[in-house]
């Protein structure tokens, strides 16, 4: 059955549910690379509307759309010059309204990406702020005098390389930028800035969005004393947030981000969200030292963020059973009353099929494992096709991050290439003209139209596994206990309202014997894996999973 035929004959109604986000599967759309509707080689909002039936066929609960706001596109939309409008390359506000309308018709909620920590240097706020030290917006950004010798105010570094400070000849001061120099940081110590950003959130909520993914949520507030960050002990340096070739990783960023004052703003933002029904928020926590601690802090209680995600499974570290157990046990210990949002891939990291060198069978098992963990889940466009990281030639690079650190770090373009829709169409059906990034030739054989009608395809495995997850509240909302973990095996028990589910994953090329916990267990044969006989000590084949339930 094709994804068009799989759609319901009647549009589902989004029933009121303030907790819909708990256990939700969220599909991330990178609009530049999803679908081009007008032939200019760049994806757009009308393209999203065209492809929403495909998204619906996956069975996901929501989409997260990466930035589409007006922008000079130096960081491809994460440098916003107008928070309340759509960049013409993506369409119009009317086009966005149609995205909301069509998604809701299909029973899909819509989350948009808010970039509040910084703007473009072409935003009118910054244009005014840099004119003088005494204008109405003079204090809307983080400005500081040079040291006596003319050097920057402190040692803070930019994730994109070099100092986080840029000299401005108009104000004869430095301004802070944690990313590109064209992305000046807003001053959250100014209440007017906070109010303006809360007004931005309210603008989009009034248009019908169901929540926000909050970019770099722990970068909002800086240390007002501008104290130097201490050096990080070399044995603690890792590449979870930035590539190892970037000296940004050598600092412990205790003063440049993750400041305690951030809590007050998050509480205000939650207050705005609470003005609207059935909304949610998911914060991106970029911290390579205290990620889980910050996630717990930002989601504790019911007056801050609904959920956060970090980089625990977005780094290059291979997810052995032992490592997964460590992350989940740490989360349970540090954030027992919080809610996580887990992801293996997104628009900022190498696709996990390539990052972890996964076979197709391994890719499937890790998807099953991801959908079995306690929390919500973000899937990144193309991972449901098993797409690998595209190899982009230097002359085709668009990402300033990759251009800066080439060739040791090739940037983020390899995971941002256009979606492969059709194996026989030009540009894989993404566009009728040359795409903004080249379509990877190896992706053509994995196009959606090839996999759509193949029962054993990765695409149909995603559909089946998402459907299996949605059929069990214990997988959506249940508690989690790790019962066994090794380098090549992982097993948990989920429990909710009188039902226990045992989930076991063979993460190796060899079959293994497994022992279920005590009691009578029933293997759930609707899971898309080989059915095992648990009357005997079951043998779990290579790269297979087993799901069994028990009433208590």
Query: pLDDT tens digits, residue range 108-137?
Result: 999 999 999 999 999 999 999 999 999 999
**What are 163-170's contacts with CB under 8 Å, separation 24+?**
164/256, 168/130, 168/143, 170/130, 170/131, 170/132
- Residue 275 is a catalytic residue: yes
pLDDT, average across residues 278-297: 93
Q: Which residue, chain included where needed, has tokens 């998604």?
A: 103
Which domains does the chain show, CATH number per domain? 25-116+191-470 (3.20.20.80), 479-551 (2.60.40.1180)
Share of the chain above pLDDT 90, in %: 87
Give me the pLDDT at residue 12, please.
Answer: 65
Please tell me the least confidently modeled range out of 39-43, 159-163, 234-238, 499-503: 234-238
Point out the catalytic residue in the list 19, 275, 396, 442. Answer: 275
pLDDT band at residue 1, thresholds of 50, 70 and 90?
very low
Q: Which of 2, 53, 55, 49 is nearest to 379 (CA)?
A: 55
Q: Can you name the residues that pair with 342 across neighbouring β-strands?
A: 377
Peptide bond into 407 cis (omega under 30): yes
pLDDT band at residue 5, thresholds of 50, 70 and 90?
very low
CB 302 within 8 Å of CB 335: no
- Residue 61 is a catalytic residue: no
CB 476 within 8 Å of CB 22: yes
Point out the catalytic residue in the list 75, 215, 384, 524. Answer: 215
Residue-wise pLDDT for 420-473, tens only, equals: 999 999 999 999 999 999 999 999 999 999 999 999 999 999 999 999 999 999
Share of the chain above pLDDT 70, in %: 97
Residue-wise pLDDT for 504-542, tens only, equals: 999 999 999 998 999 999 999 999 998 877 766 688 999
Give me the pLDDT at residue 10, please.
Answer: 46
Q: Which of 449, 412, 418 is nearest to 431 (CA)?
A: 418
CB 442 within 8 Å of CB 449: no
How many CB atoms sit inside 10 A of residue 456's CB? 10
- Pairwise CA distance, residues 255 & 225, whole Å: 9
CB 192 within 8 Å of CB 433: no
Residue-wise pLDDT for 24-42, tens only, equals: 999 999 999 999 999 999 9
Reported as type and span, the H/E element at residue 549 is strand 545-551
- Pairwise CA distance, residues 503 & 417, whole Å: 34
Residue 289 has pLDDT above 80, yes or no: yes
Q: Which residue, chain included where needed, has tokens 């702020």?
A: 129
Residue 275 has pLDDT above 90, yes or no: yes
Residue 287 has pLDDT above 50, yes or no: yes
Residue 339 has pLDDT above 80, yes or no: yes
How many CB atoms sit inside 10 A of residue 508's CB? 17
Residue 11 has pLDDT above 60, yes or no: no
Classified as helix, coil or strand, 364 is helix
Residue-wise pLDDT for 358-401, tens only, equals: 999 999 999 999 999 999 999 999 999 999 999 999 999 998 88
Residue-wise pLDDT for 466-500, tens only, equals: 999 999 999 999 999 999 999 999 999 999 999 99
Q: Which of 306, 312, 111 is nearest to 213 (CA)?
A: 111
According to DSSP, the β-strands at 376-380 and 489-496 are unpaired
Residue 6 has pLDDT above 50, yes or no: no
Q: Is residue 231 exposed (0-12), middle (13-18) or buried (19+ Cβ within 10 Å)?
A: exposed
pLDDT, average across residues 78-107: 98
């Amino acid at each position: 059955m094709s994804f068009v035929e799989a759609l319901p004959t009647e549009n589902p109604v989004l029933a009121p549910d303030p907790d819909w986000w708990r256990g939700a599967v969220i599909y991330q759309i990178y609009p530049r690379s999803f679908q081009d509707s007008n032939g200019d080689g760049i994806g757009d909002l009308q393209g999203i509307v065209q492809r929403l039936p495909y998204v619906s066929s996956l069975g996901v609960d929501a989409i997260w759309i990466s930035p589409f706001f007006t922008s000079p596109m130096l960081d491809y939309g994460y440098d916003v010059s107008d928070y309340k409008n759509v960049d013409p390359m993506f369409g119009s506000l009317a086009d966005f309204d149609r995205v909301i309308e069509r998604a809701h018709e299909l029973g899909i909620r819509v989350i948009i990406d808010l970039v509040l920590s910084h703007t473009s240097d072409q935003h009118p706020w910054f244009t005014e702020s840099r004119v003088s030290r005494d204008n109405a917006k003079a204090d809307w950004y983080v400005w500081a005098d040079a040291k006596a010798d003319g050097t920057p105010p402190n040692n803070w570094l930019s994730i994109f390389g070099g100092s986080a400070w840029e000299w401005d000849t108009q104000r004869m001061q430095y301004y802070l930028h944690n990313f590109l120099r064209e992305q000046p940081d807003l001053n959250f110590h100014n209440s007017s800035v906070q109010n303006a950003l809360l007004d931005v959130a309210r603008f989009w909520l009034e248009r019908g969005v169901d929540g926000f993914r909050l970019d770099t949520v722990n970068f909002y507030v800086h240390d007002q004393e501008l104290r130097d960050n201490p050096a990080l002990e070399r044995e603690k340096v890792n590449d979870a947030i930035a590539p190892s070739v970037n000296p940004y990783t050598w600092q412990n960023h205790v003063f440049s981000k993750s400041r305690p004052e951030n809590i007050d703003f998050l509480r205000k933002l939650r207050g705005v969200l609470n003005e609207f029904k059935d909304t949610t928020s998911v914060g991106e926590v970029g911290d390579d030292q205290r990620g889980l601690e910050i996630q717990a802090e930002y989601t504790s209680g019911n007056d801050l963020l609904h959920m956060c995600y970090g980089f625990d499974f977005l780094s290059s570290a291979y997810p052995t059973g032992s490592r997964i157990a460590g992350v989940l046990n740490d989360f349970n210990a540090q954030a027992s009353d919080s809610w996580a949002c887990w992801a293996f891939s997104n628009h900022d990291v190498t696709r996990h099929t390539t990052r972890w060198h996964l076979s197709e069978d391994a890719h499937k098992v890790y998807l099953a494992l991801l959908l079995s963990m306690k929390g919500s889940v973000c899937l990144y466009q193309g991972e449901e096709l098993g797409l690998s990281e595209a190899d982009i030639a230097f002359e085709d690079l668009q990402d300033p991050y990759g251009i800066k650190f080439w060739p040791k770090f090739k940037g983020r373009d390899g995971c941002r290439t256009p979606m492969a829709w059709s194996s026989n169409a030009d540009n894989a059906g993404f566009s009728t003209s040359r795409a903004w990034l080249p379509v990877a030739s190896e992706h053509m054989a994995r196009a959606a139209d090839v996999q759509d009608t193949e029962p054993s395809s990765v695409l149909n495995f995603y559909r089946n596994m998402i459907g299996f997850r949605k059929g069990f509240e214990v997988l959506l909302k249940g508690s989690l206990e790790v019962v066994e973990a090794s380098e090549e095996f992982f097993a948990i028990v989920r429990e909710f309202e009188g039902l226990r589910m045992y989930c076991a994953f063979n993460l190796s090329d060899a079959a293994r014997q497994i022992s279920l916990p005590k009691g009578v267990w029933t293997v759930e044969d609707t899971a898309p894996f080989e059915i095992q006989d648990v009357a005997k000590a079951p043998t779990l084949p290579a790269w297979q999973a087993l799901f069994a339930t028990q009433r208590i």
